[in-house]
């Protein structure tokens, strides 16, 4: 127990150091966490065997990330923004999946790996993008369309991954490929996960009415997420989909849900910090030598799929030309959900998981380094950052107290 607590303390301290250094060079805090974790893993201060014992930390962090994503799907919000963000999200998310699947298979990547990498490619991290928007006080049609799209983007990725993972497992098994189970298994997993999430969300909304203080609300939040993750494991369902649906149903049924999400968001940043540091520390650098072409194709093809998909979706939705031209460039960053999905890939397909995880972590570092710069340039081109604000803002977010959008990426 002492060793476990010491390791957790090391994760937090290392994360703070990485975040502070990233803040000095105007990079997102999550980049600092990952790099710090990578260095920690290379030093060998904490052995790989010890790191493997912290799966519960990753499960809990992923559960809260999905729970927070689900809270964005309020019916009044969806009615307000209309169909355009939904159309654009579907095209940019599944556009990335389609382009990645085709190109990865074309270069000879095993089909299960191509399917999982393609699905993970749909995810976008909103934190870095929204930090740029806030820092430079960007405003205009592109910015207003961006906010609902990034809120829905990871939900599309979770669904795509659930379907792709079921198909990939069937292909990788020794039982052969059968079309009916290949189609039925993902549908049952997705449907069962959404149904379980509905039940948990409804029960949580009922009990929340009885809680009058933040301590009780926080306890309920942890019970909901832990229960969702635990039941998902027992029933063979997707914990991410269960927790996402729980958050969505809960947010729509309970008027007090805002208070619960507020108190849970106030205590989860250390959890996410440790998760990202752990993710960086678990990177097996020896795998990097063998992922050169796969990594390059993933990094380039994903951006291409996002840009083309958002352009096509924007044309179909008949939005302003400036949105068609620049929105896709703001969907480059990738972090929390993608890293979490790579961890799940490692568990369900261990023979391929190390390669998938290495590709995603390396791509995350590149995307998080370049994404904010691309976003700023796109907003300047779109005319949504005033010339007087294009320089560095004096009110940068603190690395140890990131803005709310960053801790839910």
Name the burial class of residue 159, with classes exposed (0-12), middle (13-18) and buried (19+) by CB atoms within 10 angstroms of its CB. buried
The predicted pLDDT at position 72 comes to 72
The predicted pLDDT at position 80 comes to 73
Mean pLDDT, to the nearest integer, of 291-314? 89
pLDDT bin (cut points 50, 70, 90) of residue 396 is: very low
The predicted pLDDT at position 392 comes to 47
pLDDT bin (cut points 50, 70, 90) of residue 401 is: very low
142 and 380 in contact (C-beta within 8 Å)? no
The predicted pLDDT at position 377 comes to 81
From 98-107, 290-299, 310-319, the region with the lowest mean pLDDT:
290-299
Distance CA 68, CA 246 (A): 10
Mean pLDDT, to the nearest integer, of 299-303? 91
Residue 207 pLDDT > 80, yes or no? yes
Mean pLDDT, to the nearest integer, of 171-200? 74
Model pLDDT for residues 137-161, shown as the tens digit of each residue: 777 888 878 877 876 777 788 778 8
Model pLDDT for residues 24-70, shown as the tens digit of each residue: 887 767 778 888 888 888 888 888 778 878 878 888 888 887 888 78
Q: pTM for the whole thing?
A: 0.71
Beta bridge partners of 401: 398
Q: Could you give the domains of the chain?
A: 66-132+145-267+291-394 (1.20.1530)
Distance CA 2, CA 370 (A): 39
CB-based contacts of 156, cutoff 8 Å, min separation 6 = 89, 90, 93, 94, 122
Residue 345 pLDDT > 60, yes or no? yes
Mean pLDDT, to the nearest integer, of 340-363? 82
The predicted pLDDT at position 33 comes to 84
């Amino acid at each position: 127990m002492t060793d476990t607590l010491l390791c957790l303390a090391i994760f937090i301290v290392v994360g703070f150091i990485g975040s502070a250094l990233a803040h000095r060079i105007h990079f997102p805090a999550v980049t600092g966490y990952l790099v710090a974790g990578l260095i920690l893993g290379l030093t060998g201060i904490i052995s790989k065997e010890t790191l493997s014992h912290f799966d519960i930390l990753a499960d809990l962090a992923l559960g809260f990330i999905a729970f927070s994503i689900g809270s964005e799907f309020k019916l009044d919000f969806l009615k307000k923004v209309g169909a355009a963000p939904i159309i654009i999200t579907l095209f940019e998310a599944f556009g990335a999946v389609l382009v990645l699947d085709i190109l990865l298979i074309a270069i000879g990547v095993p089909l299960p790996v191509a399917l999982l990498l393609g699905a993970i490619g749909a995810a976008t991290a909103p934190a870095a993008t929204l930090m740029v928007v806030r820092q430079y006080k960007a405003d205009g049609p592109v910015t207003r369309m961006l906010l609902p799209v990034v809120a829905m983007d990871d939900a599309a990725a979770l669904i795509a991954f659930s379907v792709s993972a079921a198909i990939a497992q069937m292909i990788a098994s020794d039982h052969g490929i059968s079309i009916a189970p290949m189609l039925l298994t993902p549908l049952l997993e997705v449907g069962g996960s959404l149904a379980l999430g509905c039940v948990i969300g409804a029960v949580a909304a009922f009990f929340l009415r009885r809680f009058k203080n933040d301590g009780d609300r926080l306890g309920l939040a942890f019970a909901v997420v832990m229960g969702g993750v635990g039941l998902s494991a027992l029933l063979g369902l997707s914990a991410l989909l269960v927790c996402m649906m729980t958050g969505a149903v809960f947010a729509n049924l309970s008027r007090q849900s805002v208070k619960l999400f507020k108190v849970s968001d106030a205590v989860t940043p250390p959890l996410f910090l440790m998760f990202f540091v752990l993710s960086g520390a678990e990177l097996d650098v020896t795998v990097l030598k063998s992922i050169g072409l796969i990594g390059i194709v993933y990094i380039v093809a994903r951006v291409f799929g996002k840009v083309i998909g958002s352009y096509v979706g924007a044309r179909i939705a008949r939005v302003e030309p400036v949105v068609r031209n620049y929105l896709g460039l703001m969907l480059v960053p990738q972090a929390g959900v993608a890293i979490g999905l790579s961890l799940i890939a490692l568990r369900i397909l261990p023979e391929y998981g190390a390669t998938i995880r290495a590709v995603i972590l390396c791509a995350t570092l590149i995307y998080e380094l370049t994404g904010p710069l691309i976003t700023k340039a796109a907003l300047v081109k779109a005319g949504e950052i005033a010339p007087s604000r294009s320089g560095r803002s004096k009110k940068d977010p603190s690395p140890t107290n990131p803005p709310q959008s960053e801790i839910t990426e």
